[in-house]
Amino acid sequence: MERSAPLRALAWLLLLSGGSGGRVAPGLKMDQALLTFHNQLTEELQVLYTSDYCYKCVYQPLLAVKPNNNNTSVVVSTRFSLSLRVDSQVGGATLCRWSQTYGEGGRYSVRIQVSEAAAQPSCTHAVDTPPRNAHLPLLAAALSLALLALCFVAAPYVYRRRCTAQCMKAVSCQGPQYSLDDDAAEAPEAELIAAKPKSSRLLSLDTFRGFALTLMVFVNYGGGGYWFFQHAPWNGLTVGDLVMPWFVFVIGTSVVLAFRSMQRRGVSRRQLLRKISWRTVVLVLLGFCFLNYSPRDGPLSWSWLRVPGVLQRLGFTYFVLSLLQTFWGQKEIPLGATPWWEPVQDVVLYWPQWLIVILLETLWLCLTLLMPVPNCPTGYLGAGGIGDDGLYPNCTGGAAGYIDGWMFGNNMYRYPTCQELYRTTQPFDPEGLLGTINSIVMGFLGMQAGKIIVSYKGKDVRILCRFLAWAVLLGISAAILSKCTRDGGFIPVNKNLWSLSYVTCMGCSSFLLLGAMYYVIDVKRWWGGQPFLYPGMNSIFVYVGHSLLGFYFPFSWEMSSQHSHWELLFQGLWATGLWVLVSYLLFRKSFFLKI
């Protein structure tokens, strides 16, 4: 989690305002534009604003513009579209209103005057300084990474061609001395290749885990300052909202494959319980003791110590999934038997697990939609604050926020993503109790992917078809629940709440992505999974390492310029690349941190 959230909160939409008749000319930073109002009327005007991303938010005062050819400037955010209106201070009438997305670094003018034709006040917009291309650094980075990837792909090919040419030259120079024994010489080599054991490790799963982790590291390092690499303010999806459910999905798939391997090695249920208990305790303690705060926060205070957390949720999710697999997952169809439910054996064979997960999801739905919350409407899923016409300012998260507040008090995440846009005052933890239920459901979908791989082993077409079927089913469910809108669905897609539509949406993307990687890496072997394979095989080390060392050189440094995304994007890519390099070096040394 970023520690600069309070500073960003102060600079979200309203940063600087000029005095009456004054002129403000600040050096505009990232995600900022300068808006100057020229008032040619004889009355004072009030300018109000709201963000179009903020659902039914109350208009907030932006600035007052004094009459008689006075002008006032203000710095506004360029992250989302803004709705603005100009009201008269005397009668309160709205003179004009508009919605616009301002460009980063641009300077704009709004001239308020009386139209000669209609004899009514009007607002005329002009662009004084064109905005800069904020996405140019991202484009340059994408092209650079694509070129780097092309070099890594082409280098082995050129090397093989060179070696082949040298070998053929050497053979032709040595003459026919091998001509009589060609068959005998090639036979042992062919036997060795045939006898070489084929790795049973699913490289696509490690690659998927590493891809999610690499993206998570980049997001945690700021994502170049781009809003779509950070978490959504409330409803909706951004790139930052994708990574954790993908990681949970992979945990579920790994549980099935790992426990099946241990079962075949004769590991007893008692040993399994001891192993999963130990791993859960270690994950929870790592999250609670080491990743709870940053050195920038100063001495640890029990008044704001955070009880929930990412590793705490991952540990508890892993524990429940492992229990499901330990007690109700060690089943196989007897050899030679062909039951009528063989086409859906990956579901029917594990019906006790499905029953438990359905009960858990029913509990989530009942608590979320039916539990009464004091001073809040039943089933409220909004952010509170100034949202929903400002009717429920202290109802952030509805039942989820109320339960966490009752359990943890103020020992929760202090900077929820909705705080900046919705101006909320209540703490809200995205890793709270109710969300953990749906985290288990997300992991169980990953377990379903593992069961498909186990049940249809060697039948790649059936595995891919099952993946596609699950993706379509979950995608349709997400579309129905959300009505294909951001805020208007029955249950909106919301990462903070880990809503049911969010789980089904991310389950759909997980099946599609894992299926694509499985086909490319494990079936066709067109790609070895590099470089994501390396952090995927040392995920705990990379995650804990980047969380603890994220504020230290060479992973980060004080920015020399805050005026564009160039340096921040370079810093994020540099730090992420360093952790990929560290994981590669550990891979070469065969060092894998296991719990």
CATH number at residue 52: 2.60.40
Same structural domain, 216 and 311: yes
Q: CB of 247 within 8 A of CB of 314?
A: yes
Same structural domain, 270 and 406: yes
Q: What is the DSSP string of 454-480?
A: HHTTT-HHHHHHHHHHHHHHHHHHHHH
Same structural domain, 584 and 468: yes
Distance CA 28, CA 559 (A): 15
Enclosing H/E stretch for 302? none
Q: Is 5 a member of any domain?
A: no
Structure tokens at 577: 């690349």
Q: Is 196 a member of any domain?
A: no
Domain count along the chain: 2
Q: Please, which residues have CB within 8 angstroms of residue 279's CB and are 6 or more apart in sequence? A: 315, 318, 595
Query: Strands 121-129 and 107-114: what pairing?
Result: antiparallel
Same structural domain, 282 and 406: yes
* Sequence-distant contacts of 553-559: CB under 8 A, at least 24 apart: 554/578, 555/221, 555/579, 556/221
Which among 82, 97, 129 is the end of a domain?
Answer: 129
* Sequence-distant contacts of 540-543: CB under 8 A, at least 24 apart: 540/593, 540/594, 540/595, 541/583, 541/586, 541/593, 542/213, 542/217, 542/579, 542/582, 542/583, 543/213, 543/216, 543/217, 543/311
- Phi, then psi, of 289 in degrees rounded to 5: -95, -35
Residue numbers annotated as active site = 231
Q: CB of 304 within 8 A of CB of 410?
A: yes
Same structural domain, 532 and 441: yes
Same structural domain, 307 and 408: yes
Q: Is 251 a member of any domain?
A: yes
The per-residue pLDDT string of the chain (595 residues; one tens digit each, 9 = 90 and over) reads: 444 443 343 333 333 333 333 333 457 888 899 999 998 888 888 999 999 899 999 999 998 888 888 888 999 999 999 999 998 887 778 888 899 999 998 999 999 888 766 677 888 889 999 998 889 999 999 999 889 888 877 777 777 666 665 655 554 444 444 333 333 333 343 333 333 344 567 899 999 999 999 999 999 998 888 999 999 999 999 999 999 999 999 999 999 999 888 888 888 889 999 999 999 999 988 888 766 655 555 565 666 678 888 889 999 999 999 999 998 876 665 545 566 666 777 788 888 999 999 999 999 999 999 999 999 999 999 999 999 999 999 999 999 999 999 998 878 888 899 998 999 988 899 999 999 999 999 999 999 999 999 888 888 999 999 999 999 999 999 999 999 999 989 999 999 999 999 999 999 999 999 999 999 999 999 888 889 999 999 998 998 888 888 778 888 888 777 778 888 999 999 999 999 999 999 999 888 888 7
Collapsing DSSP states into helix, strand and coil, what is residue 131?
A: coil
How many helices (H) and strands (E) the chain has is answered by: 17, 8
Which among 129, 159, 182 is the end of a domain?
Answer: 129
Distance CA 450, CA 251 (A): 10
Q: CB of 56 within 8 A of CB of 388?
A: yes
- This prediction has a pTM of 0.86
Range of the domain at 70: 12-129
Same structural domain, 207 and 125: no
Same structural domain, 497 and 399: yes
Q: Is 398 a member of any domain?
A: yes
Q: Is 139 a member of any domain?
A: no
Which among 84, 99, 129 is the end of a domain?
Answer: 129
Q: Is 148 a member of any domain?
A: no
Closest-CA residue to 417 (of 429, 409, 401)? 429
Q: Is 297 a member of any domain?
A: yes
Q: Is 115 a member of any domain?
A: yes
